[in-house]
Structure 1
Amino acid sequence: MLTLYITRHGETEWNVEKRMQGRLDSNLTDKGKLHAQLLGKRLENTEFAAIITSPSGRTVQTAELIKGDRPIPIVKDTRLMEIHFGSWEGKTHDEIKEMDAHQFDCFWNNPHLYQNSEGESFQDIQDRVIAVLKDIEKTYSSGNVLIVTHAVVIKTMYMVMKQLPLEEFWAPPFIHGTSLTIVELNDGKKRFLLEGDLAHVQQEAHL
Structure 2
Amino acid sequence: MPAEQIHLVRHGEVFNPQGVLYGRLPGYGLSDLGRMMAKAAADDLVARGRPVAALVSSPLQRTQQSAEPIATAFELEPTLDDRVIEPENLFEGKRMRGPGGALRDIRNWGLLVNPWEPSWGEPFRSIADRMMAAIEDAWSSVDEGDVVIVSHQLPIWTTHRHLAGKSLSHDPRRRRCALSSITTLEVQTAAGSASGRRFVEVGYTNPAAGFAAQAIDLGAV
Q: Normalization by structure 1: what TM-score? A: 0.81
Which residue does 2:169 correspond to in 1? 167
Aligned twin of 1:122 = 124
* Alpha-carbon spacing, 1:103–1:139, altered in 2? closer, same or farther (3 Å): same
1:31 maps to 33
CA 1:35 to 1:123, structure 2 compared with 1: closer, same or farther past 3 Å?
same
Q: CA deviation at 1:125?
A: 1.4
In the superposition, relative to structure 1, how do residues 130 and 191 fare at CA in structure 2: closer, same or farther (>3 Å)? closer
Larger Rg: 2
Encode CA deviations 1:66-112: one digit per residue, 9 max, x unaligned.
332532131100111100113x11111133212423545x6xxx741
- Choose which of 104, 109, 134 in structure 2 pairs with 1:101: 109
User: What is the aligned length?
Assistant: 196
Instruction: Compute the displacement of 1:189 (Å).
Output: 3.5
Shift in Å, 1:27: 1.8
Among 68, 75, 80, which residue is 1:71 paired with?
Answer: 75
Match in the other structure for 1:62: 66
Cα 1:101–1:155 shift into 2, 3 Å: same
CA distance 1:143–1:70, change in 2 (3 Å): closer
Unaligned regions of 5+ residues in structure 2, if any? 190-196, 214-221
For 2:102, the aligned partner's letter is I
Structure 1, unmatched stretches of 5+, are none
SS class of match (2:52): coil
> 1:147 is paired with a residue of what secondary structure?
strand
Counterpart-to-counterpart distance in 2, 1:126 and 1:13: 27
The separation in 1 between residues aligned to 2:123 and 2:23, in whole angstroms, is 12
Deviating above 6 A after TM superposition, structure 1's stretches of 4 or more consecutive aligned residues are none
User: 2:157: which partner in 1?
Assistant: 155
Q: 1:121-140 counterparts in 2 under 5 A?
A: 121-140=123-142
Residues 12-32 of structure 1, C-alpha deviations (whole Å, 9 max, x = no match): 023x75421221141211110
Which letter maps to 2:109?
Answer: A
Establish whether residue 81 from structure 1 lines up as the match of residue 85 from structure 2: yes
Change (3 A) 1:123 1:30: same
Q: Distance in 1 between matches of 2:15 and 2:212?
A: 21
Q: In 1, are the aligned partners of 2:5 and 2:147 still within 8 Å (CA)?
A: yes
**Deviation per CA, 1:38-65, whole angstroms, max 9, x where unpaired?**
2212222432111111010100000012
What RMSD, in angstroms, separates the aligned Cα atoms of the two structures?
2.7
